[in-house]
Amino acid sequence: MEQLIHEFAGKKPLLGVCLGHQAIAEVFGGKLDLAKRVMHGKTSIAETLTPSALLTGIASEHEIMRYHSIVISEMPEGFDVISRTTDDQEIMMIQHQSLPIYGMQFHPESIGTPDGLRMIENFVKG
């Protein structure tokens, strides 16, 4: 995965979901750690902290489905946190400051993320 991220970063828009989100952070120099709680099949509310094209047309607080036990503990340079969970303040979305590179810790394709398909559409529309 690291090789793919290096190969396409800056050439194609990238969207990392769950493990892909973690890989993007790590490849660009961020740090990962165990989550405060294992979140396999649990929903949370994410709060938007930084405007993002991926969240166009989506409320600033939105429900997300989580399936993970690892999170970003230190952000890579050149990235912004788009959203965090309101309950445990874990990073849920990141974006590069100048390249079309995004990460989502949660699963936008899940029925437990009601606005997930819109997020994916927003990414595809670029």
Domains of the chain with CATH codes: 2-125 (3.40.50.880)
- Annotated catalytic, 109? yes
Give mean pLDDT, residues 110-114. Answer: 98
- pLDDT at res. 1: 86
Catalytic residue among 2, 7, 18, 40: 18
Q: Mark 29-68 as b/e (b = at least 16 C-beta within 10 Å).
A: ebeeeebeeebeeebbebebeeebebbeebeeebebbbeb
Catalytic residue among 6, 68, 109, 121: 109
Q: What is the pLDDT of residues 67-101, one digit of tens each?
A: 999 999 999 999 999 999 999 999 999 999 999 99
Q: What is the pLDDT of residues 15-36, one digit of tens each?
A: 999 999 999 999 999 999 999 9
